[in-house]
Structure 1
């Protein structure tokens, strides 16, 4: 009897010990529900993604026909990547949309002159404006839709006035450690921007002229330097005697972008002229993003 009791007690103790062992060596069941936590910290946008993507392939220059209903892209060494993407032409601050019409081939009568009278003979991309433009400049700046969306065109007025009393003079003297031989105000805008041309005192046979743009609300000077050496061959234009003809230098368009002033310039000479789109770099020095030369010398 006692043996049976002892065996039963031993069996119960073994069963209890086994249960305790299994319970201690098996972790409790995990709750498999996954909780998603949303990151509320704003993600920083890469500067490279936010940077302006404008390049010489997005812009160009054109010449109007006599009716000012069409224009043709002026040939240059850096063609736009897609001429059909060009969609606007500017006359001062006003943008006019246009559509691509055709690629015109050079005619047998083409004499190399890119003028309205010679329009039908010039090779290049032809565009049709949606409306006729009023009389104005024969040459104009073209760009794509993204340029039109990201830039603010500002009305500009040509001036030609002495600017010796401008505060810009003192700033230039300090920056260049040079007297200012001549300075002219050549353009103003409705936003009260000012554009100047200043000639530094010559150093030996080197001549330096500065193009300066200044905002009414920002003290920063945006500057482009024209440097050349003068000898018996003309420095700037035919028979100019080494003088920079400030009265001939034109500002066709002014654009505001990212607190900076971008310019479209025209510098005509006796036989042709230069058209340029210039934009400031991080040091506020203008660099030429696009340039074209047009030839109009009479036969």
Structure 2
């Protein structure tokens, strides 16, 4: 499914209003996500500090579709509406969720607090500044601290075997290694316009995103997992639009700040990736599953409407 078509899943009850985003520059390599605001010097436990077992596998049939984001202090999370929209789940069910997985597989222990009702001050934006006005289920972060305003995937320890998480290196976004770029071009038969290395695992895999050169009105971007000589692609074809090709107001160009990897985990079929793609109007989140030399949508998707007011 194309990300532009996923908008919205995201909107829930809000009409999309395209707001001007920054033009992309093909030379950016730094990630501009906000720094962690903490009540202590302790960092959130990461995949490298969780129990790690190379033989453990994630059973994707057990996974839920519950996502959340953090408040401005990183002390609380509020859930995002699930799709298709459903009645509020029973408190007993919500209490089962005790783990929150964030960028690069960082795992936090959480505890259900309460259901929060919407207030008249809600402006429809699913952002930290509107946290106290939104309807959703509230969870307390019981150890460490969440990254303020960042998105998290909520699971129970029975649903998600955290030992299946593949540790990801903490790194700045970089240019794609030349040998990987050459291999991508060879497979696709298409020159790369711009691209970035987003993540590396401690097992040697690399996750990149590329925008290929335009062919007439045909545009193509791909998320690429490189594992030795093997490449796995999630393709995002689109029709050229000078203003909005993949996302509203993307100016037909991608940039490194749009993307991040939520987690990587082993499954019986390969690797599952939590993938975030941010645009001017908000953030799309999807969990992808490997099938041979390509990724497929798992059907577990969410998103946040964050368009500036």
The two structures have a TM-score, normalised by structure 2, of: 0.69
CA distance in 2, matches of 1:198, 1:275: 18
Unpaired runs of at least 5, structure 2: 1-56
| Alignment partner of 1:194 is 2:206 | yes
Higher strand share: 1
Q: Does 1:123 align with 2:135?
A: yes
What SS does the corresponding residue of 2:170 show, helix, strand or coil? strand
Counterpart in the other structure of 1:65: 71
Tell me the secondary structure at the aligned position of residue 113 of structure 1: coil
Tell me the secondary structure at the aligned position of residue 160 of structure 1.
Answer: coil
Q: How does 1:27-46 map to 2 (within 5 A)?
A: none
Q: Deviation at 1:230?
A: 1.2
- Which structure is higher in RCO with an 8 Å CA cutoff and minimum separation 6? 2
Aligned residue for 2:264, secondary structure, equals strand
CA distance in structure 2 between the partners assigned to 1:62 and 1:163 by the alignment: 31
Structure 1 match to 2:11: none
Alignment of 1:203 onto 2:215: yes
- Counterpart in the other structure of 1:87: 98
In the TM superposition, 1:219-238 aligns within 5 A as 219-238=229-248
Counterpart check, 1:106 vs 2:122: no
Give the Å deviation of 1:243. 1.3
Report the CA distance between 1:58 and its aligned residue.
1.5
Query: Which of residues 247, 250, 254 in structure 2 aligns to 1:240?
Result: 250
Q: Secondary structure at the match of 1:255?
A: strand
Matching of residue 151 in structure 1 with residue 164 in structure 2: yes
TM-aligned CA deviation for residue 79 of structure 1? 6.2
Q: Return the offset for 1:169.
A: 3.3
Find the partner of 1:263 among 264, 267, 273.
273
Equivalent residue number for residue 15 of structure 2: none
How many residue pairs get aligned? The number is 246
In the TM superposition, what is the alpha-carbon distance from 1:162 to its structure 2 partner?
2.8
CA contact (8 A) 1:98 1:130 kept: yes
Deviation at 1:55, TM superposition (A): 4.4
From 86, 98, 108, give the equivalent of 1:96.
108
User: Is the partner of 1:85 in helix, strand or coil?
Assistant: coil
1:5 corresponds to: none
Deviation at 1:238, TM superposition (A): 4.2
Q: Is the 8 A contact 2:72 2:148 kept in 1?
A: no
Change (3 A) 1:114 1:161: same
Match of 2:173 among 141, 160, 179: 160
CA contact (8 A) 1:214 1:221 kept: yes
Query: Considering only CA atoms, is the larger Rg found in Structure 1 or Structure 2?
Result: 1
Considering only aligned residues, what root-mean-square deviation do their CA atoms show, in Å?
A: 2.9
Gaps of 5+ in 1: 1-50
CA distance in 2, matches of 1:244, 1:109: 34
- SS of 1:208's partner is strand
Cα contact 1:88–1:148 (8 A) shared by 2: no
Greater share of residues in helix: 1
> Matched residue of 1:96: which SS?
strand
TM-score (norm 1): 0.71
Equivalent position SS for 1:111: coil
Q: Cα 1:55–1:117, aligned 2, differ >3 Å: closer, same or farther?
A: farther
